[in-house]
Structure 1
Amino acid sequence: MITLQDKENFDSYEAKLEEKTKELKSCQEDKGYTSCMNCDSFISCTTRRSYVLATYESMNKSQTGGFSF
């Protein structure tokens, strides 16, 4: 059974992922790229790193191990 706390956590992770996705796409558009892989800052990019972390957190909802698909 999903609790109110679970729903709030889910919503906060999804909101953060949406925010980080917008930031990443904005950066790509500003630089004229459709992918981060073309960027010289690919490895050291904090925007991309924040997006990857938000994606990971939204998949596991701050649980240890496993993902929720």
Structure 2
Amino acid sequence: MKQSLIIDCDPGVDDATGLLTAFASPDLDLLAVTTVGGNVSAAKTARNARILRQIAGRADVPVYR
């Protein structure tokens, strides 16, 4: 059975690696990604998450700011 998961992050280099891993995991039912500001603004972290989602081919996972 897959583990359902919502990820809350501020995608920089470290979170980008984690997001790409989660997007690719067959064991996770990734329900959504929520983003907050961190080292950069919330707008930039949301953009980063959307770019990573596109790279992973996971348009099915919503990204919220």
Same fold flag (TM > 0.5): no
TM-score by length of 2: 0.33
User: Which one has a larger percent strand, Structure 1 or Structure 2?
Assistant: 2
User: Which one has a larger percent helix, Structure 1 or Structure 2?
Assistant: 1
Larger Rg: 1
